[in-house]
Structure 1
């Protein structure tokens, strides 16, 4: 595919004409809208219920364990199933789990062990839904529209997330945490209905499937073969492996901000649920703006330039979120500006890598390859979550943000020094 061809076909106008993809995005947006409401309500609920930063870090670490331990296995199964059915079933299951959590909390029966069980089950369902969604995109779009499609999908879902974050604080204040989380459960169910109406084109061509596959793949050995094939593919495409390991480090550095965001808002910025919604909302707003820019202009730049720029912007703005702690006025507005800047950097760093993977991976392997890459990228998150929760008991939150932000920005040097990366991506 020539660069000129790719550029000529980019843009929202061409994407809107692909009706199944637009329906697919609508289903994702509904789920994301509810999920973002839940992210505020759930974080608030856990902190109010336990008051423990260490427990918040432990829960976040547990949330990623199923993906690390079972993600590749789930991706191999997804490659054998209809991605639409997988998405519908997992969204329905997640809605049920979220609803049960809300009811237990509302009745005053929610215990800490309930949080761990629900977190593990929810994460297990995400192990299947994420590769199914990833596998759906190249089935619904031509390759020439992948970068624009991924950028537009990122912007649309982030816009829905922004809407959810904007109303989360108001919902908690008016109807309470229980009803707020129940609303999220209903939105997951609605998303499942919308996804069930998406019409997928015919199955991928047989040449997309490895020639090693045969009728024996219905046996458990076939799944093992599929998983080994994914490892071989990642090893063959060394840039996927290198960037996945790098993003594992990036995720490790981001853990203090993810784990300590609620205590940061309450204890340092002296704001309530509305402040948490504001920071999260502006971060998502930055993602929307960045995604929209890439939809129109991203294909004009090498993917390597976008990724490096995104990592540097993300790291430096992350470090600067510590500044409000050393100020006596305008703490929340300043923190909000830096969160917006962090949001601008995230799609720049992640969307080009996802598009590159879709371009080089056969459709019949995309589920397990994307699951393996995701497993590698999140492999450091549990350790980062535990370290963040424990370190917060000994080191101030602003110092953690400064140190991790600088380390994150410096990781881009590794990519700058790689000629292979700059030439190939």
Structure 2
């Protein structure tokens, strides 16, 4: 199937644009962060820049999506990539001329990510249009798989480039935006804009995007489950360093091992997802697998401090293999099922709402955990999180929510 996908010229061009984009973003994540701190010597400003990086996704993506729905997605993607490239080029020029002020770091990251708030929902809505019905599962999954590989490559390249020259890293990042725009421009496709959506005014489309949660029960279940899984995953991310160092008295290598295992498992499950999707029901992949994996993961983590050094190391690897495979299946399922659950006319708005809700929960949860840590220890937090995951399994089983996704998938298969 993957070999046949490569013969699809439009998909090939879009795939190249997406992987080049992801490669550049991964370089930028390291280079811009490094430049911010080395230029300003302010940890506080670095934190503000991080917040400025997240805020456009939370605030603007839901607001931008109704506008995107009324436009041709291909043009939105091209103009967004060109605009981001020009912004980054201006940043590099100011840096080279020694004209940058500290506040400009916040402004540039906020502006670039605000532009991306238009690019992301346009990309989500455009991808299915270059694929036939038979190609969708494999095509969407392979797009995500390729992007993950480029994220790894970009992260590694970014670290090496920053060591040589942060400015060179930023220049390569800038070039990837223009390359992405070029690849998208090569796509030859007659886009059809939904006339009902185009005829509506902005506020009606914006309202329709949020009301869609109530109209499409499969999407509502989908977004609730996804947000819950993201929230549970965020618990470990928020206290990982403190848990490894303060509770387990282990080195930072444990964090590196965990990240490597999670990434590799994610890539493996994405690669084999098309075959898994033919054998496993949507409800099983979306509810039973991720929540069962998280329950085992957190309940086991809460007792790790009682193990000796070698047992701890072995248990650590096994737990992250379990979590990596479970979360990998869930991630692949989300990427593929999203465009199946959501009607084409709502894809941009649904992506905006989904990304906004998924992003806003991370800093909120981290803040809550910071407060809870004043009262209870990390292993106790993990134990409570594990119990919560078990409760989620029971709630989904009793409510029969999974049957909605199964019925939706069966209905689509017969269509």
Alignment TM-score > 0.5, same fold: yes
Structure 1 residue 29: Cα displacement: 0.7
- The range that moved more, 327-336 or 350-359, is 327-336
Where does residue 192 of structure 2 map in the other structure?
203
Where does residue 413 of structure 2 map in the other structure?
none
Structure 1 residue 124: Cα displacement: 1.4
User: 1:415 touches 1:422 (CA, 8 Å); kept in 2?
Assistant: no
Q: Deviations over 1:129-185 (max 9, x none)?
A: 111111112211123332222211111111111222333333333x14443333222
User: 1:62 touches 1:119 (CA, 8 Å); kept in 2?
Assistant: yes
Select which of 324, 332, 355 maps to 1:351.
Answer: 332
Where does residue 7 of structure 1 map in the other structure?
none
Q: Deviations over 1:364-404 (max 9, x none)?
A: 3321222223333333233134446x559959996598468
Structure 1 residue 57: Cα displacement: 6.2
Where does residue 365 of structure 2 map in the other structure?
384
The 1:422–1:27 alpha-carbon spacing in structure 2 relative to 1, beyond 3 Å, is same
Rounded to whole Å, the distance in 1 between the matches of 2:296 and 2:382 is: 9
Where does residue 63 of structure 2 map in the other structure?
73
Select which of 301, 305, 308 maps to 2:280.
Answer: 301
The 1:352–1:408 alpha-carbon spacing in structure 2 relative to 1, beyond 3 Å, is farther
The answer to whether structure 1 residue 30 and structure 2 residue 20 are counterparts is yes
The answer to whether structure 1 residue 291 and structure 2 residue 270 are counterparts is yes
The answer to whether structure 1 residue 186 and structure 2 residue 187 are counterparts is no
Where does residue 214 of structure 2 map in the other structure?
235
Structure 1 residue 293: Cα displacement: 0.8
User: 1:32 touches 1:161 (CA, 8 Å); kept in 2?
Assistant: yes
User: 2:294 touches 2:386 (CA, 8 Å); kept in 1?
Assistant: no
Where does residue 412 of structure 2 map in the other structure?
none
User: 1:307 touches 1:352 (CA, 8 Å); kept in 2?
Assistant: yes
Rounded to whole Å, the distance in 2 between the matches of 1:167 and 1:347 is: 24
Rounded to whole Å, the distance in 1 between the matches of 2:241 and 2:68 is: 35
The 1:420–1:256 alpha-carbon spacing in structure 2 relative to 1, beyond 3 Å, is closer
Rounded to whole Å, the distance in 2 between the matches of 1:319 and 1:106 is: 52
User: 1:21 touches 1:141 (CA, 8 Å); kept in 2?
Assistant: yes
Alignment map for 1:138-153 (pairs within 5 Å): 138-153=128-143
Rounded to whole Å, the distance in 2 between the matches of 1:90 and 1:26 is: 16
- TM-score with structure 2 setting the length: 0.77
3-state secondary structure, aligned to 1:199: coil
Structure 1 residue 313: Cα displacement: 3.1
Gaps of 5+ in 1: 1-10
- TM-score with structure 1 setting the length: 0.76
Rounded to whole Å, the distance in 2 between the matches of 1:330 and 1:276 is: 17
The 1:379–1:327 alpha-carbon spacing in structure 2 relative to 1, beyond 3 Å, is same
User: 1:314 touches 1:344 (CA, 8 Å); kept in 2?
Assistant: no
Select which of 46, 53, 60 maps to 1:63.
Answer: 53
Rounded to whole Å, the distance in 1 between the matches of 2:45 and 2:372 is: 12
- The range that moved more, 179-188 or 229-238, is 179-188
Where does residue 169 of structure 1 map in the other structure?
159
Select which of 382, 401, 412 maps to 1:420.
Answer: 401
Q: Deviations over 1:303-324 (max 9, x none)?
A: 2211221344356557878969
Tell me the C-alpha RMSD between the 2 structures. 4.2
The 1:262–1:145 alpha-carbon spacing in structure 2 relative to 1, beyond 3 Å, is farther
Structure 1 residue 59: Cα displacement: 4.9
The answer to whether structure 1 residue 372 and structure 2 residue 361 are counterparts is no
The 1:422–1:317 alpha-carbon spacing in structure 2 relative to 1, beyond 3 Å, is same
Rounded to whole Å, the distance in 1 between the matches of 2:239 and 2:341 is: 37
> Which is higher, the Rg of structure 1 or of structure 2?
2
User: 2:225 touches 2:286 (CA, 8 Å); kept in 1?
Assistant: no
Structure 1 residue 78: Cα displacement: 0.8
Rounded to whole Å, the distance in 2 between the matches of 1:256 and 1:79 is: 35
Q: Tell me the matched-pair count.
A: 400
3-state secondary structure, aligned to 1:198: coil
Structure 1 residue 209: Cα displacement: 4.7
